[in-house]
Amino acid sequence: MKYRSSKTMLFTLACVMLSACGSAQNNTAKKTALPALKDVFNNDFLIGTALNARQIEGKDPGAAALVPQQFNAATPENIMKAEVIHPAWDQYNFELADKLVAYGKKNNIQINAHTLIWHSQLPGFVRSMKDADSVKQYFTNHIKTLAGRYDGKVLSWDVVNEALNEDGTMRKSIFLDKLGNNFVVEAFRLAAEAAPHTELYYNDYNIEQPKKRAGTVTLVKKIQAAGVRIDGIGIQGHWHLGKIPFNDIEASINEFAALGVKVMFTELDIEVLPRDFSGADVNQRMENNATLNPYVKGLPDSVQQQLADDYGKLFALFLKYKDKIGRVTFWGVNDGQSWLNGWPVRGRTNYPLLFDRAFQPKPAFFRVVGLKKDQ
Ligand code: 9MR
């Protein structure tokens, strides 16, 4: 279903926001009137969302209704990270990941599994390892077990997440320390062996920035030179209102695609609150104070419009390069569940996504959908 006229758009917006479509009959009309992102961009790229544990367990009714209507891809926000899915040497918690796979199958939602090898959110037994042999054994078991179990059941894996520093050099981590520079190549080699039917991606934030972009190109070339398969690069896309690096994003799409891999936007959100650094390093934090949390009572219209402008320009760029882009995934279903309410300052009220806290579409949603109007 395509979004056709601005009149219809305004009507839907009014209906949705003022709840003027209150009757049961009109509720059905409201649902069918709202365009679905996955349909609007059907010929362009997959449209994904991150799902938290409650949503995967079916305990979030708003998400249960909205997600299958709007999205055809999903990434588990936390439940497939090592700390959760592999908490002890011989213990795996597959339950929620299995549920997610079943949910995807039932609702025609492709799953991007996140993530096999990441320096962060490691279980205690790994963090305390001292000798290289134990780390190597853990690394091999972890990748083989998870990539093998979900092969053919998930579309893709973020095989390695955030292995680079801002200057493009390799980030310090237990893997770099104990396994050496080649650990990324080895991770992809093991994943490719265990999951021949799954696409394999490198995923990181700020890799559209020139130095980190160059580091990514070097890393991917190294994997390819070793004769190991890599299918895609995920640009996370944690950006800030009014500061989206459009030129760098465009250059990155071209440079990454020239490596013969697909480009994905994997964790998209646009932060509207003040912050004095960019990126998504979960270890970076800022002190809380009232000036850092200005929109507790709601987002001013001017900011709402700027968010719509930024999202509109971003999706226009994505559409320009739709042949090179496989998927665009938002990091969360609605504003209320976004990680940006708790980071880098705890307890803020943030508005980074296309759906508000009541799962209603924001002006940014209509701007994005409107790009395809009459096409
Ligand atoms: O959104 C995730 C949040 O709930 C976790 O507390 C956090 C800490 O690990 O991770 C967040 O997701 C991160 C993702 O896995 C990797 N890129 C940065 C994301 C935002 O921090």
Kindly give the interhelix angle for 210-225 and 246-257, rounded to the nearest 10 degrees.
Answer: 10
Q: Does domain 48-373 have CATH number 1.10.10.10?
A: no
Place of tokens 């990454």: 256
Residue from 51, 52, 54, 77 to probe ligand 1 pocket by mutation (most atoms less than 8 Å from CB) = 77
Q: What is the pLDDT of residue 147?
A: 98
pTM: 0.91
Q: What's the confidence (pLDDT) of residue 32?
A: 54
Residue type, 249: I
Name the residue of 85, 282, 330, 346 whose CB sits within 8 Å of the most ligand 1 atoms, as the mutation to test its pocket. 282
Token pair of 336 as six digits: 């209320």
Let me know if 186 is a catalytic residue. no
Distance CA(52)–CA(330), nearest Å, equals 12
Which tokens is 150 given?
A: 């979900």
Q: How far is the CA of 189 from the centre of ligand 1 (A)?
A: 25
pLDDT of residue 289: 78
Where do the domains of the chain lie?
Answer: 48-373
User: Backbone phi, then psi, for 27, in 5-degree steps?
Assistant: -65, -40
Q: 162, 186, 208, 255: which one is catalytic?
A: 162
- Could you tell me if 67 and 55 are in contact, meaning their C-beta atoms sit under 8 angstroms apart? yes
Atom of ligand 1 nearest to the CA of 52: 4
Contact, 100 vs 74, CB < 8 A?
A: yes
Residue 374, pLDDT score: 54
Q: Of all atoms in ligand 1, which is nearest to the CA of residue 236?
A: 17
Measuring from each residue's beta carbon to the nearest atom of ligand 1, which residues come in under 6 Å? Answer: 77-78, 120-121, 161, 205, 236, 267, 280, 282, 339
Instruction: Please return the burial class of 201, using the count of CB atoms within 10 Å of its CB with bins 0-12, 13-18 and 19+.
Output: buried
Atom of ligand 1 nearest to the CA of 205: 17
| Tokens 């739709």 -> residue | 322
> Which pLDDT belongs to residue 287?
76
Residues in the chain: 375
Q: Which residues, given as ranges, of the chain have pLDDT below 50?
A: 1-30
Cβ atoms of residues 223 and 184 within 8 Å: yes
pLDDT in tens, 26-58: 444 445 579 999 999 999 999 999 999 999 999
Q: Which residue has the least CA distance to atom 8 on ligand 1? A: 282
Count of alpha carbons within 13 angstroms of residue 228, beta-carbon side: 24
- Catalytic residue at 287? no
- Residue 77 Cα, ligand 1 centroid: separation in angstroms? 7
Centre of ligand 1 to C-alpha 282, Å, is 7
13: closest CA among 39, 27, 36, 34?
A: 34
Render pLDDT for 4-27 as a digit per residue (tens, 0 to 9).
344 344 434 443 443 333 344 444
CA of 156 to the centre of ligand 1 (A): 18
pLDDT value at residue 11: 37
Residue from 186, 255, 267, 271 carrying the catalytic annotation: 267
Cα dihedral across residues 367, 241, 341, 47: positive or negative: positive
CA-proximal residue: ligand 1, atom 4 (nearest): 339
Distance 12 CA to ligand 1 centre (A): 33
Token pair 């971003």 is found at 314
| pLDDT at site 113 | 99
